[in-house]
Amino acid sequence: MHAFANPARFLRLARWLMPLLLVSGLVLSMGAVLYGLLVVPPDRLMGETVRILFIHVPAAWLGMAGWSTIAIASLVELVWRHPLAAIAARAAAVPGAAFTAICLATGSIWARPTWGTWWVWDGRLTSFLILLFLYFGYIALSGAAQRDMASGGGGNRITAIFGLVGAINIPIINRSVVWWNSLHQPPSITAGKSSIDGTFLWPLLIAAVGFSLIFGGVVLARMRTLLAEIQTEARLRRKALG
């Protein structure tokens, strides 16, 4: 892990890995979405709306995976003081928030023809909306922390603690459909088991892999952005000090 603590070594890796992740992710995810749209048959109960599955479910997984990334990177930052961990956590926030918003929007659209309503304040939907607000808070806090660090403060530690504390929402989201009554269906895929028919399951898994690769590519692109900003800032400060 510490082998990549050196930003120059990380940049060498990111330069070839980022385009590879983005291109393969776009091919896989868009291919799976098109397959779901054009080839997969309508579901017996949900009809044609089952095709929303191939966007909604990967977006939900990545919304939660984004905060899990923030929590793990925050822990690494606090415990091992890994220099790239804070950057990785900050880089995961915007794609995590984007996929959480996509999940909420597509879920709401899916709910209207299947449940007869756009929204219900049940455990799953409410905890996922809270996740979106946590992302907004984290993005605002990490932006303020960067300005604080530039003036010698310890804002990154506060951001990392917020990232760790916010992770409590992830198991709540996961178990919400089991703990509370909900219009949302119970988990269809659990460890080693799935109640989804193979016709829908395989394109769903391919879409999930594709969107995950896109997520990884975007995180690497945003890490490169943050590193370049830090290097520019440091160079300008050195010049100003003579």
**Chain residues in the site for other proteins (CB under 8 A):** 22, 26, 29-30, 33, 37, 47-49, 51-52, 55-56, 59, 94-95, 98, 101-102, 105-106, 109-110, 112-113, 116, 211, 214, 217-218, 221-222, 224-225, 228-229, 231-232, 235-236, 239
Residue closer to other proteins by CB (options 165, 185) is 185
Secondary structure of 161-172 in the HEC alphabet?
A: HHHHHHCCHHHH
User: Could you tell me how many residues make up the chain?
Assistant: 242
Residue type, 31: G
CB of 133 to other proteins, least distance (A): 18
Residues whose CB is less than 8 angstroms from the CB of residue 16 and which lie 6 or more positions away in sequence, other chains included: none
CB of 107 to other proteins, least distance (A): 9
Residue closer to other proteins by CB (options 106, 176) is 106
**C-alpha distances in angstroms, 18 versus 12, 14, 85, 90?**
11, 5, 18, 17
CB of 228 to other proteins, least distance (A): 4
- Contact between 19 and 217 under an 8 Å Cβ cutoff? The reply is yes
CB of 210 to other proteins, least distance (A): 10
Residue closer to other proteins by CB (options 55, 65) is 55
- Contact between 11 and 228 under an 8 Å Cβ cutoff? The reply is no
Residue closer to other proteins by CB (options 9, 235) is 235
